[in-house]
Amino acid sequence: ALGARVWVQLPDGRVLLRDALVGAEGIASGVSPTLHIGVGDAAAVNVLVRWPDGGWSRADGLATGSTFVIVHN
């Protein structure tokens, strides 16, 4: 979602932070709403999302190399 903030924790303890800016161009723009985060050779990561309304979602042990949908609770 536009305005979401995403933290990705790698197995070695490093944390990557990304802000979701996709969607700002409009639905007909052809821009994918997928947030791609490169994690090197990590096999799995933990993800924490802060949604624009202040809500939180967490997903642990996500296998890398795949696409996941994290839904706002």
Give the pLDDT score at 27: 57
Which DSSP helix (H) or strand (E) runs through 9?
A: strand 5-9
Give the strands of the sheet with 5-9, arranged side by side.
15-19, 5-9, 44-50, 56-63
Per-residue pLDDT of the chain (73 residues; tens, 9 = 90+): 788 999 999 999 999 999 987 655 555 666 667 888 999 999 999 999 999 999 999 999 999 999 999 988 7
Query: In the chain, helix, strand, coil percent, each to 5?
Result: 0, 35, 65
Q: What pTM was estimated for this model as a whole?
A: 0.82
DSSP 18: E
Cα distance between residue 11 and residue 4, in whole Å: 23
Give the pLDDT score at 24: 53
